[in-house]
Structure 1
Amino acid sequence: MVANMFVVPQTIVAMAANMFVVPQTRGTVLCCKCGIPMAPNPANMCVTCLRLEVDITEGLRKHVIIMYCPECESYLQPPRTWIKAQLESKELLTFCVKRLENDLKKVRLVNAEFIWTEPHSKRIKVKLKVQKEVLNGAILEQSYVVEYVQQDHMCESCTRFQANPDQWVAAVQLRQRVAHRRTFFYLEQLILKHDAAVHAIKIKQMDQGIDFFFGNRSHAVKFVEFLGKVAPTKSRHDKQLVSHDPKNNNYNYKYTFSVEISPICREDLICLPPKVAASLGNLGPLVICTKVTNNIALLDPFTLRQCFLDTDQYWRHSFKSLLGSRQLVEYDVFDVEVVSPEYNVGGSKYVLADIEVARITDYGKLFYIRTHLGHILKPGDRALGYDLYGANSNDMELDKYKGLVLPEAILIKKSYEEKRQKKRGKPRSWKLKSLDMEVDDTKGRAYEEKMNSEYEGFLRDLEENPELRFNLSLYRNRDYQPSEMASVSEGDDMPSVPLEELLADLELSEQEDGEDSMRE
């Protein structure tokens, strides 16, 4: 009974009438060329004979010449566009298929893929699978290989640079009006990670900043936009006429972009202007800058309130720091009394505590202050902070607050200087890359020592602050050899970079020495 439920209705009628049912079979015909049985098609030919009779790739180009710039590794998309693409990448496959745009109007493209060739052969092979309607409506599918021959031809930017390396079209002058270069060390790593200055012709270190030179105005504009996304900046631009062809009405300009970074840096102590403090809900007025991106994060160390200033808000008032990182003083911690539970503010943990401290250079004066570092400080530790008791401040914003009682000290972070003295001179297990930058060597030994000291401070900040190195690329130092004695003597609370955060430094050639572009 179950089998009868699936019988075709016509068959049931025929069985009821006792009629003979002819089983339905798939019809076949003989190929008109070779005579083998096959399923019928409009051409009455099998696939093999049809391919022998008709070649749908006839008239399609099998060899194409493409222009390749060996300096910037880009390909010419006629008439004047240069496209940067890696071998066997999706971008390069799209470029190769577009070069056959006129040919592919005659057929239907089904698939395209690379065939491996030697990288130095200057040949790129692409296998294409196409379909086309042939005799009497039959659709034939066929594969064929297109060989692209690379011819070296430098693009306009590279040609101009080879003729005169100093001939630039656009310059970006990046400046910050502060007494240190910590911000530029951090920006250098962000630029390297995102390849933001890959089109720069020349990079030159200047006082209070860096100059970037580009061979194209659009590259400079893109770089300025990148800076605006990672730092609170303001910019202006200007242009200067270099030459003019009155017959063709062509003008050649040199463009200059001036980019200024906010002087507010991480760990700075700030006295907010009254209008800014009121707009932030009466924050402060004494606050600490905890993070700087395209926004400025401000923390009140006495109430643990946090607010953010965007770029427009800051430049509308344009205030400066009360005290900077170069004015930090080291304190000894004698007593810690926690007065609040642990709070999570902006992804960081803080605990309010009343502590007793004294400057390491003057134990005759004890300070009883409140700090937000109660979760990491304990008696016997050392901390870095700002000495407001002995500071002589001439800040105009501070004078606007009548009757404001300043604390004797504001602690910023825990100090590990005493423990680092034991490791002085030993290499780190990690290192950073650096930009190919021109440096003025005529400034003397004192300037070089100052730069090395500031860079060492930047490396220590990376070790102490995981959030600071979150967006950076740190590489393993192959010359580092850990010793068992060092691992036993180091304290558990000594900040360091975990091995899982480090990247392996890839070397493409044994002859290339990567140490010139790496800094420990």
Structure 2
Amino acid sequence: MLQRASNANQYFTHWVTAAPESRELLALCLRKLRGLNKVRIIDASFVWTEPHSKRIKVRVTVQQEAFEGAIIQQSFEVEYVVASQQCPDCAKSYTANVWRASVQVRQKVPHKRTFLYLEQLMLKHSAHKETINIKEVKDGLDFFFAQRNHAEKFVDFLSSVTPVRVKKSQALISMDIHTSTKSYKFTYSCELVPICKDDLVCLPIKLAKQIGSIFPLALCHRIGTSINLLDPNTLQTADLPSNTYWRAPFASLANATELVEFVVLDIEPLGEQSGRFFLAEATVARASDMGVNDNTYFCRTHLGAVLHPGDSVMGYHLTGTNFNDPQFQELENSSTYSSRIPDVLLVKKFYARKKKPKRNWRLKRMAKDEGELLPKKADQDRMDADYEMFLRDVEEDVEMRNTLALYKAENKKEADAMSMTETDLDDDDEVPKISMDELLEDFEDLQVGE
């Protein structure tokens, strides 16, 4: 008996592909016969059978020495029965609701803030409505689609909102040899730039000169279709296009998880303004050094409009910090730029909040399949911290808030902390609040009678 795949000329001995009456099929038939190793095969050929009879006949001629040089030769026919069986590729093609295209979105950063922002953009623009499944994996998400054009549309959406590098691959599922019709699965690999908002980057000196002669040590203040950089010492801005970055990619020098809290001792505006940034000179001290030593740091900052003496501010402490980065070492060895490296680089004002603040707004979340990567308690705590940091960014950044869809909080006593937050009017007055005019009604939750 020969086991053959139902929709292809594949026979089961580790699934060998063999055409009808081919040498491969003849060798497969001979291997099925027992005892041929004891005789000498003189000839083997196929005998014609009806193509749809599920039968294969082979005429075999063998020789063997009997005694004292006498040789016996005999010819006989062997009939094989062909039994249909699904090979792994056929099983995939017959599976119901199977995906035809997948988009693998990856970003190698220690937090999920970028994916939380992308999630809100997808919800606002309904970019995920054609997906049949969303799976959470390490360093990103996998989106599965039933049609190839849906996946390509989703990739175009990603390219329109964030710097991304796309690679495409395809795998053959099945092929009809009679009509030459082939079925493929397509996979799109989308790698996001490993630089996020509020990250500190050190540009190669040559690249810094190409994008406007900005100081190589810059702050990423926004991620759009390109990387928007800011020099806090001069308020100079520059845009790093996605294709320029991917020609010579580099990682961020420090990310938002390494921010240090400082206290503003004195601040003096310099009168220079660029958009929402105001240049000022500030004297700050680390919050952990207050009452321990008298170390203070003098720096320039772009936060002159929001900082006042006594405020807390988050920034990067560069003095005494060792960075294992070739671009930063090149900057330190440069006679032109080494003297301009600041001791402290301030990023954003820090607002003291409660551990679990209540808000008058909420964000929607997408239903994702966690798969086999069920989060541990430590991972869940990290995800909660990332989501809380993202909510604070939404409150403090007006430009980001204008690109998202915020909804009024539901009037429920029990709510999921990852998907909903409520309001508290007794919070500190300095904490940024979102007015009710910016919030939308969620019509899916409204129960309207006929």
Cα deviations by residue, 1:382-421 (Å, 9 ceiling, x for unpaired): 00000101322111111122241321110000000x2x12
The structure-2 alpha-carbon separation of the partners of 1:391 and 1:205, relative to structure 1 and needing over 3 Å to count, comes to: same
Structure 2 equivalent of residue 389 of structure 1: 319
CA positional deviation for 1:378 = 0.7
CA positional deviation for 1:371 = 1.3
Mapped partners of 1:460, 1:307: distance in 2: 26
1:457 lines up with 2:392 in the alignment: no
CA positional deviation for 1:243 = 0.7
Structure 1 equivalent of residue 303 of structure 2: 373
Helix, strand or coil: the match of 2:233?
Answer: coil
CA positional deviation for 1:341 = 1.1
Q: Is the 8 A contact 1:474 1:501 kept in 2?
A: yes
Structure 1 equivalent of residue 9 of structure 2: none
1:307 to 238, 260, 281: 238
Q: C-alpha root-mean-square deviation of aligned residues, in Å?
A: 2.2
1:477 lines up with 2:412 in the alignment: no
1:344 lines up with 2:344 in the alignment: no
The structure-2 alpha-carbon separation of the partners of 1:426 and 1:262, relative to structure 1 and needing over 3 Å to count, comes to: closer
Helix, strand or coil: the match of 1:361?
Answer: helix
Helix, strand or coil: the match of 1:323?
Answer: coil
Q: Is the 8 A contact 1:427 1:480 kept in 2?
A: no
472-481 or 178-187: bigger deviation = 472-481
- Rg bigger for which structure? 1
299-308 or 354-363: bigger deviation = 354-363
Percent identity (aligned): 40
Cα deviations by residue, 1:242-296 (Å, 9 ceiling, x for unpaired): 1111012111111110000011111111111111111123211111111111111
Query: Structure 2: which amino acid aligns with 1:332?
Result: V
With normalisation by structure 2, the TM-score equals 0.72
Cα deviations by residue, 1:425-457 (Å, 9 ceiling, x for unpaired): 343111111111112563311111110110011
Which runs of structure 2 are paired with 1:106-505 in the superposition (5 Å)?
Answer: 164-165=96-97, 167-338=98-269, 340-345=270-275, 349-363=276-290, 364=293, 365-401=295-331, 402=333, 403=335, 404-405=338-339, 406-416=341-351, 418=352, 420-421=353-354, 424-440=355-371, 442-479=374-411, 487=425, 489-505=426-442
Mapped partners of 1:451, 1:335: distance in 2: 36
Cα deviations by residue, 1:350-393 (Å, 9 ceiling, x for unpaired): 22222111111123221122211111111110000001013221
Mapped partners of 1:426, 1:493: distance in 2: 14
Mapped partners of 1:445, 1:471: distance in 2: 32
Unaligned 5+ segments in structure 2 are 1-91, 414-422
Q: Is the 8 A contact 2:93 2:174 kept in 1?
A: no
Query: Structure 2: which amino acid aligns with 1:443?
Result: P
CA positional deviation for 1:507 = 2.6
Query: Structure 1: which amino acid aligns with 2:377?
Result: R
The structure-2 alpha-carbon separation of the partners of 1:202 and 1:486, relative to structure 1 and needing over 3 Å to count, comes to: closer
Query: Structure 1: which amino acid aligns with 2:120?
Result: Q
Mapped partners of 1:502, 1:209: distance in 2: 29
CA positional deviation for 1:174 = 0.2
Q: Is the 8 A contact 1:353 1:374 kept in 2?
A: yes
Q: Is the 8 A contact 1:302 1:372 kept in 2?
A: yes
Higher relative contact order (CA 8 A, sep 6+): 2
Mapped partners of 1:207, 1:176: distance in 2: 9
Helix, strand or coil: the match of 1:263?
Answer: coil
CA positional deviation for 1:190 = 0.4
With normalisation by structure 1, the TM-score equals 0.62
Q: Is the 8 A contact 1:428 1:480 kept in 2?
A: no
Helix, strand or coil: the match of 2:271?
Answer: coil
1:506 to 424, 443, 447: 443
